[in-house]
Amino acid sequence: MATAAAAVGARGAGARAAAWALRGSCRTAAPGRPCTGPARPLCTAPGTAPDMKRYLWERYREAKRSTEELVPSIMSNLLNPDAIFSNNEMSLSDIEIYGFDYDYTLVFYSKHLHTLIFNAARDLLINEHRYPVEIRRYEYDPSFAIRGLHYDVQRAVLMKIDAFHYIQLGTVYRGLSVVPDEEVIDMYEGSHVPLEQMSDFYGKSSHGNTMKQFMDIFSLPEMTLLSCVNEYFLKNNIDYEPVHLYKDVKDSIRDVHIKGIMYRAIEADIEKYICYAEQTRAVLAKLADHGKKMFLITNSPSSFVDKGMSYIVGKDWRDLFDVVIVQAEKPNFFNDKRRPFRKMNEKGVLLWDKIHKLQKGQIYKQGNLYEFLKLTGWRGSKVLYFGDHIYSDLADLTLKHGWRTGAIIPELRSELKIMNTEQYIQTMTWLQTLTGLLEQMQVHRDADSQLVLQEWKKERKEMREMTKSFFNAQFGSLFRTDQNPTYFLRRLSRFADIYMASLSCLLNYDVNHTFYPRRTPLQHELPAWSDMPSTFGAPRLQEARAK
């Protein structure tokens, strides 16, 4: 089964080719055939012990040369950051209705927004929750956290967890300082987090779950503020209750939204906070020109959405949508059957009349998906909905209602650009090759061989740390731990049929295009299928340039 890991993980094809070349060069195997047993050193004179150190380092240098020869071919097949990647086969020709979230889907925000949220929440902590005024000296650091991290509410530590619930050691932070691996292992009696301690279905710490997963792009300031306040208390030896701190920070971040602090600031200086994206209108116009129906379901308020859409699309933006729903309160919108729709007039006043039809050009508040389906008849796999929050936007739609889903992952573009650099490709290809070499040579148990293998393991560990720092010095890639997919990617693979950096990527595809996931090899399969020409793989940068 193909997953998102195939497209955004380590540089797979070249690395697997290098590792396979190691196996294929076994001196006991026929040319072109993989080893059937452990590699053996060349024969030595009768009665003479083989020089294992020399043999192993010869194999090391041989593997190094093979890797260096592979890099140019990998550099000629770079991944396109503007491509759409598929977890599940889907044809756009089957899609009749397109739905959209608003924030970080139709509209993108500048770097100033997270600073605004951080500062406003920090001030609320001081002014309303009576936190020490000294925490005002902490400023927002956009390079500290990444999306998808877990926070242990009771232990006040932030960490990265992989798809198998294992903590990536070296990515556990208490405050702004990394927690030593030994302490993490002692704290969790290993590095595995049991299922009952993980966050609930929507990533929340509730019903006995002690972990909170931060999946929203808006949560980046929240993680940073939590870490900063923890840091202040720890540095000043102040005894505090971590659960109270988590709740107070969560409430302050929430109040920045529900009290309108963020909305008013953006509306007052829309050019500062919203990244103008003429391609958003181009996407919507393209779909409208091909007769597609469109709808908007957002948790944001009406006036805020209207000003933002008027700025990026035009004052006639509502003409493009068949249905517009604001303050929907997702994910409750997808599950709560009790809340009826309310229509809003042009002045934003809520009307009391019963809704028998969702009319084009009107704005509706709240409601629920079951009533939405009843009033529109838009059901099943002919609907494709886009959002940035894997849980609140996508999970219920794909699991309960059979809609097709598209995830907007802005971080994808920057990560792919890093993965396309020669430094990353060289490092990752050699890392994978060295891992294969360790796997193959571990059968040699004599003292000299073990000394060599320990040196290789040390080099491998250093290279892993280097590859992590390519993306984020503290937590690495959004999509991978050292060797496994992250928990974030596991959920992305399950709840999103396709994913992309922005909606503008749709402009690169015909409205009848079929997305085919790459057939990535299972652990017990040969890697040949994934090493086919780019026609069978992910979209390549050279192909996009050629077009």
Annotated binding site for GMP: 103
With 0-12 / 13-18 / 19 or more C-beta atoms within 10 angstroms meaning exposed / middle / buried, residue 301 is middle
Residues 292 and 228: their CA atoms lie apart, in Å, by 47
Indicate the SS3 state at residue 166: strand
Binding-site members are: 101, 103, 388
Residues 125 and 334: their CA atoms lie apart, in Å, by 32
User: Taking Cα atoms as reference points, which of 307, 238, 221 lies closest to residue 270?
Assistant: 307
Residues 103 and 296: their CA atoms lie apart, in Å, by 11
The question of whether 353 is a catalytic residue gets the answer no
Structure tokens at 54: 């020399």
User: Taking Cα atoms as reference points, which of 382, 392, 399, 417 lies closest to residue 501?
Assistant: 417
Binding-site members for Mg(2+) are: 101, 388
Place of tokens 């020089």: 51
Residues 53 and 186: their CA atoms lie apart, in Å, by 37
User: Taking Cα atoms as reference points, which of 197, 111, 98 lies closest to residue 406?
Assistant: 98
φ and ψ at 128, to 5 degrees? -110, -25
448: left (phi over 0), alpha (psi -120 to 50) or beta: alpha
- Helix then strand then coil, in percent of the chain rounded to 5, is 45, 15, 40
Kindly give, in sequence order, each residue whose CB lies less than 8 Å from that of residue 298, ignoring residues fewer than 6 positions away. Answer: 101, 102, 103, 305, 325, 326, 327, 328
CA distances from 397 to 107, 276, 391 (A): 21, 29, 10
Residues 113 and 265: their CA atoms lie apart, in Å, by 9
Q: Which of 103, 162, 248, 393 is catalytic?
A: 103
Indicate the SS3 state at residue 394: helix
Place of tokens 């190691």: 22
Residues 201 and 181: their CA atoms lie apart, in Å, by 28
The question of whether 101 is a catalytic residue gets the answer yes
Residues 409 and 411: their CA atoms lie apart, in Å, by 5
Q: Which of 51, 94, 101, 448 is catalytic?
A: 101
Planar angle of CA 200, 400, 202, nearest 5 degrees: 20
Active-site residues, by number, are 101, 103
